[in-house]
């Protein structure tokens, strides 16, 4: 027993050198459970290849397929306008049914994020999972103009 009740209370009590580790084990197990639950919530499930600001642009294919979402929410595939409900059929025709074709998705700065995600969902629903997001290349030098040059060197959402 770690300690007992004695009738003689005085300075002659022996020291006990036992440590009760049960509360320590309880705390460790609670922390373990907390981290086991919290760890999966802290991870990101979307694989995104994010280049740094000074990264070299990704190589363009010989004939890139651009899908553009304009500020008035109209879509153009290449240079041809396309309706949202006809997007899957038009992609099927242009790509020859090759679902591995990388589609370069461009959107106006003023487009709402929800509208942009709707287009990405349409592409995914049509079976096209290789989507490259196109942005402006900004030079890393401070004297460079803020507009940069247009290039399909952006994130790949595969």
Model confidence at 93: pLDDT above 70: yes
Mean predicted confidence (pLDDT) in 118-143: 80
Question: For position 146, what pLDDT does the model report?
Answer: 46
DSSP-derived 3-state class of residue 119: helix
Question: For position 111, what pLDDT does the model report?
Answer: 83
Q: How far is CA 98 from the centre of its chain?
A: 25
- The 3-state secondary structure of 30-72 reads HHHHHHHHHHHHCCCCCCEECCCCCCCCCCCCCCCEEEEECCC
- As a whole number of angstroms, the distance between CA 118 and CA 86 comes to 14
Question: For position 117, what pLDDT does the model report?
Answer: 92
Q: At what angle do helices 87-95 and 113-125 cross, to 10 degrees?
A: 60
Model confidence at 158: pLDDT above 50: no
Question: For position 53, what pLDDT does the model report?
Answer: 41
Length of the chain: 158
Model confidence at 130: pLDDT above 60: yes
CB 56 within 8 A of CB 44: no
Question: For position 2, what pLDDT does the model report?
Answer: 55
What is the average pLDDT score of the chain? 75
Q: What are phi and psi of 121, to 5 degrees?
A: -70, -35
The per-residue pLDDT for range 1-60, each reduced to its tens digit, is 455 565 655 567 777 777 788 888 999 999 999 988 887 776 545 443 434 445 566 676
Model confidence at 100: pLDDT above 90: no
Other Cβ atoms closer than 10 A to 131: 19
> What CATH number labels 65-134?
3.30.420.270
Boundaries of every domain in the chain = 65-134
CB 76 within 8 A of CB 70: yes
């Amino acid at each position: 027993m770690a300690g007992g009740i004695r009738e003689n209370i005085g300075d002659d009590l022996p020291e006990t050198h036992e440590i009760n580790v049960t509360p320590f084990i309880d705390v460790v197990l609670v922390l373990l459970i907390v981290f086991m639950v919290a760890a999966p919530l802290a991870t990101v499930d979307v694989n995104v290849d994010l280049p740094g600001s000074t990264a070299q642009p990704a190589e363009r294919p010989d004939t890139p397929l651009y899908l553009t979402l304009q500020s008035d929410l109209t879509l153009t595939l290449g240079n041809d306008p396309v309706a949202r409900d006809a997007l899957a059929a038009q992609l099927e025709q242009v790509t020859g049914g090759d679902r591995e074709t990388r589609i370069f998705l461009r959107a106006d700065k003023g487009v709402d994020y929800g509208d942009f995600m709707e287009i990405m969902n349409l592409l995914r629903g049509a079976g096209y999972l290789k989507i490259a997001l196109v942005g402006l290349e900004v030079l890393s030098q401070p004297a460079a103009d803020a507009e940069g040059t247009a290039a399909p060197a952006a994130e790949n959402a595969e």
